[in-house]
Structure 1
Amino acid sequence: MPLLLRCLLALACLSVWPGPAAARMVTDAAGRRVEVPERIERVLAAGPPAAVLLYTLAPRKMIGWPRAPSPEERAFLTPDAAALPSTGRLTGRGGTANVEAVLALKPDLIVDIGSTGPTYASLADRVQAQTGIPYLLLDGSFSKVPETFRTLGAVIGVQAEGDALAAESERILTAVTAAVAAVPPERRPRVYYGRGPRGLETGLAGSINTEIIEAAGGRNVATAEGMGGLAGISPEQVLAWNPDVIVALDPAFAANLPNDPLWSGLKAVRDGRVYAAPVLPFGWVDAPPGVNRLIGLRWLAGLFFPDSFPEPLAEAVTRFYRRFYHVEPSPAQVEALLGATAPLDKRR
């Protein structure tokens, strides 16, 4: 074969040989400019809120959970997602993932959602520098849920689904906001949110863990302690606040309050207004403080202002789980979810 012909053939081969994937620049919620691949198929969630966001938006692009789902949680997840392994967590309390583990998973992108402050932006920069994997930090504020769906949907190639979930999120937020706006501030209940087996951890003013209470029209009594995140609270403080409503993360704690001399005299306990927040497959109030709180918002607002929501809660729950969690819960499952949320006087 003549030399010229061989050179032309070589050039033709080079012109169609696949090179590195195209990339684009994305600005995340912390103002970081991150170069991401044009095509993204494998996404690693840095922590639980990001895992919930990713599962609702694009479960097929997930490569694992920060913590493997329990059997009870798996009952409310798709079989494929329920079977995904534990990948550990890069952020928050008890981080377990390391650089080697992240590299072994071969993600195209790492996503975190929550605070966008300097501490988390610095962590994102450090992990990205150590692994060479693009790391996006998204705003976890409750009011930003629709925007977050749209942003991540566009980045990972599921824009239509991101827009659809954003629209449904806006519908829920708008309905609750309108209902709350119609209630004078003095008629809004004073609420204590108790976390932990003794109910003595809560979120202060500005905490992402309790912002849903204010969004649902409640007044978080712990804001009296000032700004902050999660904090330990003494029983004496709760007694002094004497809340109208108690929302508990631990159902055993909630069920025991009428028998506990320390708590039984509180107005909320006397009036039977103690509620255990559902937690399957994810918490309705926090645990984690992610997009899972949308159904918790509807639940809490309905507890505070029942006349403002004519749709039965069971129907709202079924629709939410179908749309966001990709499962059709049975009537028995919905009844079990809502059973522990009934006021104390209806559970006796």
Structure 2
Amino acid sequence: MSLTRRRFTQILASTLFLHHLPSFAQSVKFWASLTLPEAQNITRIVSAGAPADLLLLAVAPEKMVGFSSFDFARQALIPLPEHIRQLPRLGRLAGRASTLSLEGLMALHPDLVVDCGNTDETWISQARQVSEQTQIPWLLLNGKLAQSAEQLTTLGKTLGEEHRAAEQANLASRFVGEAQAFAASPAANLRFYA
């Protein structure tokens, strides 16, 4: 196939258009439905999934009404305070595998739902729909591992736990930085055979 002026122009136009696609494809860092309550008014939080469970456990475990995915009551070897260990497993609230009904969510009387994961239009739409149906504010954080420090900082600011979240964010930033440095080093390409 020979390269004609028309074909060259099509390729050039496509290249110029594709250059801008990554900016359209990037997902948001966080999204909030309705108006988020003031930090001092947030005392009861429902986690929508396992990543949010872990974020809340790090930033504000005393505000959780339960875990979406974990049952620590049966895990005696995990060093957790007893009141955290006894929090119930409520079920997931996001995605196809949701096990917590909207009626169950409303019965918990939460001040906020926290979710961490995909922040594309599909997940935002689902969060918006649940929030509008229940009138419970929803905070959806981008769940990319590289953004762990930002997740902790945003959640800490939302919940009035900036100091605790800052300590966790510094650790997360250090660990992610070390992992990225290792991945870029020649040592990452070493192979071992047993």
In the superposition, the TM-score normalised over structure 1's length comes to 0.44
Write the distance in 2 (CA, Å) between the matches of 1:173 and 1:72.
31
Q: Is the 1:64–1:85 Cα contact (8 Å) retained in structure 2?
A: yes
Which has the larger helix fraction? 2
User: Cα gap change, 1:30/1:169 in structure 2, threshold over 3 Å: closer, same or farther?
Assistant: closer
Amino acid paired to 1:162:
A
Report the Cα distance in structure 2 between the residues aligned to 1:74 and 1:93, rounded to whole angstroms: 31
> Sequence identity of aligned pairs in percent?
34
Q: CA deviation at 1:85?
A: 1.1
- Which runs of structure 2 are paired with 1:142-221 in the superposition (5 Å)? 142-183=145-186, 188=189
For the pair shown, the structure with the greater C-alpha radius of gyration is 1
Alpha-carbon deviation of 1:29? Answer: 3.1
User: What does residue 132 of structure 2 align with?
Assistant: 129
Inter-partner Cα distance in structure 2 for 1:139 and 1:161? 20
Aligned twin of 1:255: none
Matching of residues 35-46 of structure 1 within 5 Å: 35-38=35-38, 39-46=41-48
Compute the displacement of 1:37 (Å): 1.1
Q: What is the 5 A alignment of 1:84-95?
A: 84-95=87-98
Cα distance, 1:124 vs structure 2: 0.5
**1:210-249 equivalences in 2 (<5 Å):** none
Q: Is 2:31–2:139's contact at 8 Å kept on the other side of the alignment?
A: no
AA matched with 1:127: V
Structure 2 CA distance, aligned partners of 1:42 and 1:164? Answer: 23
The aligned residue for residue 57 of structure 1 is 59
Alpha-carbon distance in structure 2 between the residues aligned to 1:66 and 1:74: 19
Q: Deviations over 1:134-191 (max 9, x none)?
A: 001100000100000000000011011111110111111222323333327xx615xx
In the other structure, the counterpart of 1:117 is: 120
2:150 & 2:52 partners in 1: Cα distance?
A: 14
Aligned CA distance change for structure 1 residues 32 and 154 (closer, same or farther; 3 Å)? closer
- Matched-pair contact (CA < 8 Å) for 1:40–1:108: yes
Contact 1:110 1:136 in 2 (8 A): yes
Q: Relative contact order (alpha carbons < 8 A, sep ≥ 6): 1 or 2 greater?
A: 2
Give secondary structure in 2 for the equivalent of 1:120: helix
When normalised by structure 2's length, the TM-score is 0.76
Name which of 46, 49, 68 aligns with 1:47. 49
1:83 aligns with 86
